[in-house]
Amino acid sequence: MSHAIRIQQADFDVGAEWAELQRQLAGRAGAMASFCGVVRDQFDAQAIQDLELEHYPGMTERSIEAVLQRADARWTLDATLVIHRVGCLRPAEQIVLVMTAARHRQAALESCAFIIDSLKTEAVFWKRERSTSGERWIDSTSADHTRAARWRNERQ
Partner 1 sequence: MAVTVRFFAALRERVGRDTLTIEGVPPPSLHALRLCIGARLGADLVAALAAPEIRVALNHEFIHGDPAFSDGDEVAFMPPITGG
Residues making contact with a copy of itself (CB under 8 A): 13-16, 18-19, 22, 25-41, 91-92, 94, 103, 105-106, 108-110, 112-113, 116-117, 143, 147
Chosen residue from 37, 72, 91, 109 binding partner 1 by CB under 8 A: 37
The amino acid present at 75, given as its one-letter code, is W
- Gap between the Cα atoms of 91 and 41, Å rounded: 5
CA distances from 151 to 25, 100, 122 (A): 27, 17, 13
Residue 150 in contact with partner 1, rule: CB under 8 A:
no
Q: Does 59 sit near partner 1 (CB under 8 A)?
A: yes
Q: Of 72, 98, 65, 71, nearest to 84 (Cα)?
A: 98
* Binding partner of 134, given partner 1, a copy of itself, none, CB within 5-8 angstroms per partner class: none
* Strands 46-55 and 87-89, bridge-based pairing: antiparallel
Distance CA 96, CA 101 (A): 17
CB of residue 51 to partner 1, shortest distance in Å:
11
Q: Residues in the chain, how many?
A: 156
113 binds, among partner 1, a copy of itself, none (CB under 5 to 8 A by kind): a copy of itself
Contact positions with partner 1 (CB under 8 A) in 89-128 = 95-96, 105, 116-117, 119-128
Return the closest-CA partner of residue 112 out of 138, 85, 78: 78
| From a copy of itself, partner 1, none, interface partner of 40 (C-beta below 5 to 8 A by class) | a copy of itself
Task: State the binding string over 125-144 for partner 1 (x if CB under 8 A, else -).
Answer: xxxx--------xxxx---x
**Cβ(12)–Cβ(99) under 8 Å?**
no
